[in-house]
Structure 1
Amino acid sequence: MVASQRAVPLRLHGALLFLTALLLFAALDATAKYLSAFLAVPLLVWARYLVHLLIMLVAVAPSMGRRIIATERPWLMGLRGLTLVAVTLLGQLALKSMPLAETTALIFVAPLLVALLAAPLLGEQVRLRTWLATVAGFAGVLLIARPGGSLAGAGVFYALGAALSYAAYQILTRKLAATEHPMRLLFYTALLGTLAMSPALPLHWHGAWPTPGQVLLIVSLGVYGGVGHFLLIRAFRETPASLLAPLVYSQLLWATLLGWLVFDQFPDAPAMAGMLVIGASGLSLAIGSRR
């Protein structure tokens, strides 16, 4: 009984950490969308991972030493890191031409894709609930990216590409989580993101330096990403993933609010309906998995 009572504050604390991380991710997206009007997206992605890497080198690497890079599965670690780079790059390209809320909703198709891909890649059973939720989720996509709507076709393509990459990232994370230290997973994403995007510097930087205000915002991208992922790790240590999964769709609320406050963009009725359908479909899968 006492242990159960102690678990309740821990679970609540984990949930608060999780919600804070999602707010940071929404803030990262909003900041990247704002900066993309002034700077090339590949430069922003490179800076985001570089700052994240520096944080890891200063705050984590000294205590872990070689353990932060020692892995028996380097190819899977590398592939996982590159899929997250693809998520960031494609997601920010989508944000450059589309509203924040709609872009976030389209990327949140990823859990539905994970549920389908888990059967051939992880050997998990795909139930009828999964098929129904997936069909409903893609119906929500059609409501958001409907023919004749105001969204840019290229932006929709980038967002769905980010969703597919995010699904691959989540599946690879499942494969690696049992054998890899969480901080090692976090370090590899920062390292590979920096290395992968460094060749883009001479192609997209033409010598114009950002203003001091823009520099602060660029640094904040890495802070949002690094701190957000760290809070996720802490949240999952204190609260079962099955309890946290339904909360992930609160990021849609943050994205909608920030899109309205910062960019004066609010989804129209069909897009809002599509976002609700995608959110409900994902919640159905999360609650079903918890049961």
Structure 2
Amino acid sequence: MNRFSDNGRGMLLMIGNTAAFTFSDACVKAIGSDLPLSQILVLRGIVASLFIAFLALRLGALRHRPSGADALLMLLRGVAECGSAYFFLTALRNMPLANATALLQMVPLTVTLGSAVFFGEPVGWRRWLAIAGGFFGMLLIVRPGTEGFTAFSVYALLAVGAVTLRDLATRRVSPSLPSMQVTLSSAVLVMLFAAGWSLGEDWQPLDARLSLLMLGTSLLIIAGYTLSVMVMRVGEVGFIAPFRYTGLLWALLLGLVIWGELPHPMTLLGAAVIVGMGSFTLWRERQLRRAGGLQLAGAKTRRT
């Protein structure tokens, strides 16, 4: 009963987590071209970095000193985070919210692919088929060769690549290094990247509407980071992870209500394929971890 209760809380936290990040993206999209993207990232980055630093201090996450290898991985992760922020938010401001969000759901599949290619992690034929199915769903969304395929479609795909690189780098960081320290390093790097970028752009004054939207995206980012930390501490990751796809439902709802965006039927089909294949991959990885745990427990029993 306790385990189910933990999983239930974890599910709700994950749904809240995806809602916070999706609503934050919607605020950025609503700002549009009224503010330079670099200015948005600097202002939001200051708020997010200060909050993450406060949280890291409260959790004692800054007492650990990273090794040289971990420092390089944190730098790589931060650079990838800069790329993902630039490419995704640029795409987001120029394409439907649901389309950009749906493409980002490819990440669990591309991380599985990257882990197999770069780290030699075993991937069975079922997950290979799921990865292939996910890429087919991606093609249904971007539809190369049609008028719906633009440079911003490419930006969204580059964002998927950058997030994949970020997550692969995160997997290689030593487990002993606190996650909040890793998160803080990336947040600061994104802020510094945006600050340097903003030097060549003219900052714009904030009226009441823009101030509210900037406050909204900043507070929602803080909520997203907070819920991310809480999710990691509750329930089974394998059970909770598939609920990350609820972000797509939030994106569909917000796009329809705020901008009147009704995705193309092929986009909806592609999104459904990606979610289905990604959910299967996460479920399969959960099953394999369970099987590995049972085998390890059996071996320990035999030795005793």
TM-score by length of 1: 0.91
Matched, 1:112 2:109: yes
Q: Please state how far the C-alpha of 1:76 moved relative to its aligned partner.
A: 0.8
The reply on whether 1:71 has 2:66 as its aligned counterpart is yes
Give the number of aligned pairs.
285
Q: Which one of the candidate residues 133, 141, 144 is aligned to 1:144?
A: 141
Aligned with 2:33: secondary structure? coil
Partner of 1:286 in structure 2? Answer: 282
2:188 counterpart residue number: 191
Deviation at 1:114, TM superposition (A): 0.8
Within 5 Å, give how 1:193-208 maps onto structure 2: 193-204=190-201, 206-208=202-204
State how 1:5-20 maps to structure 2 within 5 Å: 5-20=1-16
Per-residue displacement from partner, 1:4-47 (whole Å, max 9, x unpaired)?
Answer: x2222222111111110000011011111111231122222222
In structure 2, the CA distance between the partners of 1:60 and 1:213, relative to structure 1 (3 Å rule), is farther
Percentage identity across aligned positions? 28
Report the CA distance between 1:65 and its aligned residue. 7.8
How far residue 63 of structure 1 moved from its aligned partner, in angstroms, is 6.0
After superposition, what is the alpha-carbon deviation per residue over 1:212-250, rounded to whole angstroms, capped at 9, x for unaligned? 331232133232223212211211211121111211111
CA RMSD, 1 decimal: 1.8
Letter in 2 for 1:120: V
With structure 2 as the length reference, what TM-score do the two structures score?
0.88
Q: CA deviation at 1:75?
A: 1.2
Partners in 2 of 1:100 and 1:228 — Cα distance? 18
SS in 2 for 1:50: helix
Q: 2:248 maps to which residue?
A: 252
Aligned residue identity for 1:222: S
Looking at structure 1, the residues matched to 112 and 272 of structure 2 have their Cα atoms a distance apart, in angstroms, of 19
Alignment of 1:121-140 (within 5 A): 121-140=118-137
Do the aligned residues in 2 keep the contact of 1:50 with 1:222 (CA within 8 Å)? no
2:103–2:156 contact (8 Å) kept in structure 1: yes
Rounded to whole Å, the distance in 2 between the matches of 1:49 and 1:176 is 23
2:26: which partner in 1?
Answer: 30
Q: Structure 2 matches for 1:31-110, cutoff 5 A? A: 31-61=27-57, 64=60, 66-67=62-63, 70-72=65-67, 73-110=70-107
1:80-116 per-residue CA deviation (whole Å, 9 max, x = no partner) reads 1221221111100101110000111112212211111
Instruction: Answer whether contact 2:39 2:203 (CA < 8 A) is retained.
Output: no
Q: Deviations over 1:175-200 (max 9, x none)?
A: 22612112212211221111121111
The answer to whether residue 223 in structure 2 is matched with residue 219 in structure 1 is no
How far apart are the structure 2 equivalents of 1:8 and 1:202? 51
Pairing partner for 1:237 from 230, 233, 239: 233
Aligned partner letter, 1:71:
P
1:270 pairs with 266, 269, 273, which one? 266
Displacement of 1:121:
2.6
Residues 97 and 152 in structure 1, CA contact (< 8 A), matched pair in contact too? no
CA distance in 1 between counterparts of 2:193 and 2:126 reads: 38
Tell me, which stretches of 5 or more residues in structure 2 are unaligned? 288-304
Larger-Rg structure: 2
